[in-house]
Structure 1
Amino acid sequence: MTDNPHAAVFDRAAATYDRVGVDFFSTFGRLLVEHTGVASGERVLDIGTGRGAVLFPAAAAVGPDGHVLGLDLAPGMVQRTSAEVAERGLEHVRVVLGDAADPPLADQRFDAVLSSLVLFFLDDPAAGVRRWARLVSPGGRLGLCTFLPDGDDERFRELVEAFVEVPDDIEPQPQPDGPTSFELVKDVAWLDGAIAAAGLVDIDAVEVRHATGFEDVEQWWRWAWSQGMRSALELIPEARHAAFKEAVAADLAANALPDGRLGFHVTVRLTTARHPD
């Protein structure tokens, strides 16, 4: 499974993913569980579970009479999150290896299928939504957390690209003819259309602008390496790290939080839809 580039990068990040003292993924996971209305006794699927940002709030919401299944493509994520599940004594929670693009759960149905900041990783996100919708029980809900265009992430992508040097032995990725998955999923009209085309109804969404604070650029650096951004950071030569961090520090300082910490802002959309009864 680690032949998949996304699985490989998150496998390398698993040890520190969401574990560097930065308020980010866990906040969105909790908000998604709340917005989807996960309730006691329900069966929940968390697609792209990572280190449990959605999984653990969902486990608390359903209680011991419910069940939560986490699915992730990276073996390191599955191993470490499974270990934490065991440490917490959560007998109603399980984490398994599986691809978000085509979950190996054709014969199972869930009261809530949740996925936070995952859909844009799929080569065909519309097909992903269709497959996820088929896992929702009649009357159940699909809940998604996705990025919106209003955020610092796009500016940071440009900053990273200015320092990246792709080795000669790495073949350049073919450029898509149309919008990338990342661009599509940020398009609210496209996303709602994909959800409706998958047969779901009663689409309900809220937008949340979130400010993430860092004590210094070194904390940002640890955080960036702990998540998907590391795939780009790995292409920045070590000789350019100091200059890159200096540029990042200047950007974060220009967007500092009221408490003086370096600031990084993103806006996410929490979207739910219901499977017809």
Structure 2
Amino acid sequence: MTGIHSTALVDPAAQLGSSVSVGPYTVIGPHVRIGAGTTIGAHCVIEGHTTIGRDNRIFQFNSLGAIPQDKKYAGEPCELVIGDRNTVREFCTFNIGSPGDSGVTRVGNDNWIMAYVHLAHDCDVGSHTIFANNSQLAGHVSVGDWVILGGFTVVHQFVRLGAHSMTAMCTLLFADLPPFVMSQGQPAAARSMNFEGLRRRGFSADRIAAVKGMHKALYREDLTLEQARARIATLTVQHPEAETDVQMMLGFLEATSPQRGIVR
């Protein structure tokens, strides 16, 4: 059974799954779909074409599915899609997409999103991420799986963050952050690789050795990006277990635009 507080305003056209809980004074619009087991706190506004999956916990005072902060937006039916088992703390703002891109702002599964986080239009967030308080993403940002953003991290539009990367508190990203890289500063600079995080996720010694080789090629040998890519491609000979990791890094670097570059 759904549990909707008597003061909540839920449009009759909204689709709420079984065991959804809606707190006091929350407003839910007609194009919203919420999966079973999700709880919505008090004083939230969920609007637009928003789909929320199963077993999410959305705390009080959140705004999800509002129109993008884009002057070109003219009412097109763009979307916000949130997966399963996410935690969204207080005062977060997730906007729908825009017609100038995919039209969808997307959040994956099992993310831990702390207070005052902003996801602008057309952001694509993977799974198992952690966004600390006041992390701010401009439009069209792509965030890979297992990324950790330190508090007050700010990400410029169209920037990509590779899987397992990490930022320190108050980091400002203007360039793409490759997989595994830990960064800090304004603007961000690479500091190391996220070795401890990889160990906690079960990476073998061979895979971590390959990540160390990537770090050396990108940041320790004074190579051009093209030279570093060639060096990284050879790592699977010595570290066959890291084939997937190497290919992920090479794919990320290949997709980096020369104008934006990577954090170095």
Q: TM-score range by the shorter chain?
A: under 0.3
After TM superposition, the score normalised by the length of structure 1 is 0.23
With normalisation by structure 2, the TM-score equals 0.24
Q: Which has the higher helix share?
A: 1
Give the number of the structure whose alpha-carbon radius of gyration is greater. 2
Which structure is richer in relative contact order (CA contacts within 8 A, separation 6 or more)? 1
